[in-house]
Structure 1
Amino acid sequence: MITFELIAILAMIGALVGVLAGLLGIGGGLIIVPALLFLLPKSGVSADIAMQMALATSLACIIITSGSSALNHYRVNNVDMFVVKFLIPGVILGGFGGSFVAEFIPSQYLPPVFGCIVLFLSIKMFISVNVGTVKPLPSAIKTFISGTTIGTISSLAGIGGGSLMVPFLNRHGIEMRKAIGTSSFCGALLAASGMIGFIFHGVGAKDLPDHSVGYVYIPALLAIACSSVLTSKLGVRLTSVLPTKVLKKCFAVLLLIIAIRMLFF
């Protein structure tokens, strides 16, 4: 059942997601998915499909949040298009692949597995705050494979890939602000490919609620996306104010919180 209280809560979540999308280059799925997993069953959505709907709706939201963030970053020259052209093919392929793999993996195993990955990334980011050495960008083939891996894992977890992509880009010499902007650009396309896959699998599924397209729940999509677009520009402005080390620390802390949340969900 759609209520004013539900829409208000989703709008507040969207506002937070918008700031984080602009500031840290993430689409917000790591916040949206747990929130929807908690809220959807209370709104009458069957627990049997709550995980699929949370993942699909999160990816649909990320198309808009990351797209808006990417546009704002592009305007201030924070998107490295040279890197984008090597990452995009693998990211899109991985986005599709993740949605198909999700059909065969029990949903209860996804959060702890991804939590371990995010915990590792958080530790690596903390270590790299005061380390100046970076590795050169891999070859086109290795970058494609990396993009595919990031896309698959991200689609499985219903995220835009920023929590994986930003550390990857920064570790390979992409300055933090450009890593965030580039991640937003790639994340929007990753989310689009993953969402299409979840819609494909959701068409005709049992117990789908009203106002859904496949596994995408339209009321939640609209509430989160509309408010996130309004706040993403604030996050982009903060990247121009905060020094790189502060951004790294913020990102590492966020990853640590997310990892703990995923591991003990």
Structure 2
Amino acid sequence: MPAVGDLIWFAAALAGAGAVAGLLAGLFGIGGGAILVPVFYQLFGLLHIDDAVRMHLSVGTSLAIIVPTSIRSFLAHRKRGAVDQDLLRSWLLPVPLGVFSAAVVAASVSSAGLRAIFALIAILVGVRMLLNRQHWRLGTVLPSNPVRAVVGWLIGLLSGLMGIGGGVLNNTFMTLYGSPVHRAVATSAGVGVLIAIPGLFGYIWAGWGAGGLPPFSTGYINWVVAALIIPITLVVAPLGVRFAHALNKRQLEIGFGIFMLSVAARFLYSLS
């Protein structure tokens, strides 16, 4: 059993991660999974959860938490009229299909494999955040199908494998085609809903009957951790929305990029 002091420390870390995740959900239109997954991975290690399911449980629980967080963030952004409803409607099928594809991969890949996937995508996301330039463009109009559908599927796949809400990926896609950053952020909150809900059920299916899971888990979702984090993220997410419409986010992008590269290094080190 872990020491009481260690449990208190990680309880504080969970609370802090929940607050940061909620803030990021509103600020960048992301679910905060990039913050939550590394924290959960350390927590489950402290609790001596089997390494074979530790990373899967971290990703699945993160997606469960993103469900209410992304819904609340999306509703707050939609109230401001900033959401690209047309893009969301066109992704009602491709994004969830990508997420279910991720669940199929998660059901068969090892913990080390899932950590490697997370690390590689985190490197790409971190570099993108550090090097992002508003003037970079691939066009002035979002592409139509089949390109749009393929992009939606990829966003769902990569996000499902990382346990994130897809905001960074969608922000990149929309801004590269000339969408205002605030519109991209607002729409990303809706993309998070399309990712988190099927991701929740996908990771329940992927982990159904798996051994080594802690109590109060359904598949790769641990409801105790989810219940502790969700209230914090719900309270903080609207604050992030207000910041998103008031702040220059470049410094925050740099900080988030550095964090992602640090997380990637941590997971790559664990594979050595």
TM-score (norm 1): 0.90
Contact 1:41 1:50 in 2 (8 A): yes
Structure 1 112/46 Cα, relative in aligned 2: closer, same or farther at 3 Å? Answer: closer
Structure 1 117/252 Cα, relative in aligned 2: closer, same or farther at 3 Å? Answer: farther
Q: Which SS does the other structure have where 1:88 is aligned?
A: coil
Q: Which SS does the other structure have where 2:91 is aligned?
A: helix
Q: Which SS does the other structure have where 1:144 is aligned?
A: helix
In the other structure, the counterpart of 1:191 is 196
- What's the offset of the Cα at 1:250? 2.5
Q: Which SS does the other structure have where 1:205 is aligned?
A: coil
Contact 2:55 2:114 in 1 (8 A): no
Alignment equivalent of 1:139, drawn from 139, 144, 150: 144
Q: Which one-letter code corresponds to 1:194 in the other structure?
A: G
In the other structure, the counterpart of 1:57 is 61
- What's the offset of the Cα at 1:13? 1.4
Within 5 A, what are the aligned runs for 1:74-113? Answer: 74-113=78-117
CA distance in 1, matches of 2:230, 2:144: 36
CA distance in 2, matches of 1:118, 1:47: 21
Q: Which one-letter code corresponds to 2:18 in the other structure?
A: G
In the other structure, the counterpart of 1:66 is 70
Check if 1:202 corresponds to 2:207. yes
Structure 1 203/118 Cα, relative in aligned 2: closer, same or farther at 3 Å? Answer: closer
- What's the offset of the Cα at 1:26? 1.0
Contact 1:125 1:167 in 2 (8 A): no
- Counting matched residue pairs gives 262
Q: Which one-letter code corresponds to 2:183 in the other structure?
A: K
Structure 1 215/179 Cα, relative in aligned 2: closer, same or farther at 3 Å? Answer: same
Which segments of structure 1 move beyond 6 Å, counting only runs of 4 or more? 1-4
Q: Which SS does the other structure have where 1:198 is aligned?
A: helix
Structure 1 140/34 Cα, relative in aligned 2: closer, same or farther at 3 Å? Answer: same
In the other structure, the counterpart of 1:257 is 259
Structure 1 203/132 Cα, relative in aligned 2: closer, same or farther at 3 Å? Answer: closer
Structure 1 42/118 Cα, relative in aligned 2: closer, same or farther at 3 Å? Answer: closer
| CA-atom RMSD in angstroms | 2.2
Q: Which SS does the other structure have where 1:264 is aligned?
A: helix
Contact 2:159 2:165 in 1 (8 A): yes
Q: Where does the alignment leave 5 or more consecutive residues of structure 1 unmatched?
A: none
In the other structure, the counterpart of 1:29 is 33
Structure 1 54/75 Cα, relative in aligned 2: closer, same or farther at 3 Å? Answer: same
Contact 1:88 1:147 in 2 (8 A): no
- What's the offset of the Cα at 1:214? 1.5
Structure 1 172/111 Cα, relative in aligned 2: closer, same or farther at 3 Å? Answer: farther
Contact 1:121 1:167 in 2 (8 A): no
Check if 1:161 corresponds to 2:161. no
Structure 1 42/171 Cα, relative in aligned 2: closer, same or farther at 3 Å? Answer: same
In the other structure, the counterpart of 1:178 is 183
Q: Which one-letter code corresponds to 2:36 in the other structure?
A: I
Q: Where does the alignment leave 5 or more consecutive residues of structure 2 unmatched?
A: 268-272
- What's the offset of the Cα at 1:125? 4.9
CA distance in 2, matches of 1:259, 1:164: 16
TM-score (norm 2): 0.88
- What's the offset of the Cα at 1:212? 1.3
Contact 1:87 1:147 in 2 (8 A): yes
